[in-house]
Amino acid sequence: MLQASTGLRRAAAAAVAILGTSLANAAAFPQAVHLENVFSAQSFDGTGAASLRFHSLPMAPAPAPAAAPVQRMAAAQEPPIVPDTLWTSLTPLNQHETDLLYEALPQANSALARRLSLAAADLMVGQAVAEGYNALELFTNPSWTENKIYFVDGPDVAAIMSKYALDSMVPAEGVSQDGKPYHMLGLIIGQGHMTMLMDRSDFRYTYAEDHGHSSNVLIVTSNVVRWTIHGPGDLQVSGLKCAHWLVDPTIMEINQISPSQARVHTDWGDKIISVSPIVLNVKKNHADKAVRWGITHIPNANVPFLPPSISI
């Protein structure tokens, strides 16, 4: 009996050692390789002896740099988009802007907030266009993680989104599916967050991606849509859902996974969408031509009509 017990203990120790080595190796495999593909559960041969059945595995590639996925490394090196001298040239918020700030961020310190002028905002977006940035790279720029807070008035946001094809999932203004207009009261960005204060909540609209080739209906569930910067090209979001015929998945995070794609993570699964560099808004140009040609615009309940651009 002593020899049998000793043999069982040695066999068990050997199995544990093999299992520990396998688990250590599994940590180096891509995330798509699940542990159930590394080894199966214990099986019994009818005599009471337990064994582990191992599956063949591909050679593990060299581990990626621990800092970030390769596609995010370039974004991590993006320089701040806000000039160092800009802050001192901006004006403090007036009472109306301060009220909007506290409505969006009740705990904000208004002493750290400044009104970002339309000219300054246009200059920054123009710089992003010159650098070939997409909206995720612009909205997660290192400038927005500093302690300062920038307030952009709603009409100024609408003017910027009219001038540029800026793939924001929440338009600055438009007409919801119930035929009622909506608009953004203000955009507050800084301290690692981007907050969109809307004039209403619980409305549905069409967010067009791929420059109009496909579309999705989204739901603003709160008049405060809050984005939190987790890193370059990575935004956590609250106050936004995807409309679906059976359930309305809550959008939880959006992160860039390649130069041309981003993953929208919801509580019901993920969806891959395309991202593209910010460019001048060709849709707006078409709208301007329609006005010049005397074509009367008929509002579409699904697609917001972009107002004419401004000259800065």
For residue range 257-269, list pLDDT tens digits in order: 999 999 999 999 9
pLDDT digits over 161-211, tens only? Answer: 999 998 889 999 999 999 999 999 999 999 999 999 999 999 999 886 544
Q: Does pLDDT of 97 surpass 90?
A: yes
pLDDT at 4: 46
Report pLDDT digits (tens) over 222-254: 999 999 999 999 999 999 999 988 889 999 999
- Give the relative orientation of helices 154-163 and 118-131 as an angle to the nearest 10 degrees: 30
Q: What is the pLDDT of residue 129?
A: 94
Cα–Cα distance for residue pair 222/229, rounded to 1 Å = 19
Distance CA 167, CA 83 (A): 24
> What DSSP letter does each residue of 218-256 carry, written as one string?
EEE-SSEEEEEEEETTEEEEESEEE--SS--PBEEEEEE
Tokens 């960005």 sit on residue? 189
Residue 218's pLDDT band (boundaries 50, 70, 90)? very high
Average pLDDT, the chain: 74
Report whether 254 contacts 265 (CB < 8 A): yes
Distance CA 57, CA 223 (A): 50
Q: For the chain, how many helices (H) and strands (E)?
A: 9, 17
Per-residue model confidence as pLDDT tens digits over 108-160: 999 999 999 999 999 999 999 999 999 999 999 999 999 999 999 999 999 99
